[in-house]
Amino acid sequence: MSLKAFHLIFVTLLTALSFGCAAWAFQSGSLLWGAAAVLTGIFVMVYGVYFLRKLKHVSYL
């Protein structure tokens, strides 16, 4: 597995974890932590798009 593929898997899992934590925080009544987790998830998604555009020419293998 290439470093690019590993990085994309890690970014995907981190995004899912961030939004999962946000849902859990909102359900438990913590608006501050929920908002922070949503912002983190959005930031990670933006970073993932940046990473894909930067390494467009690098193969997955």
Write down the pLDDT at residue 60. 61
CA distance 39 to 60: 29
> Which element (helix H / strand E) includes 43?
helix 31-54
Q: Does the pLDDT value for residue 57 go beyond 70?
A: yes
Write down the pLDDT at residue 5. 86
CA distance 52 to 61: 15
> pTM for this structure?
0.85
Say if residue 33 is exposed, middle or buried (CB neighbours under 10 Å; 0-12, 13-18, 19+).
Answer: middle
Half-sphere exposure of 26 (CA within 13 A, CB side): 11
Q: What is the pLDDT of residues 7-49, one digit of tens each?
A: 999 999 999 999 999 999 999 999 999 999 999 999 999 999 9
Q: Does the pLDDT value for residue 61 go beyond 60?
A: no
> Which element (helix H / strand E) includes 37?
helix 31-54
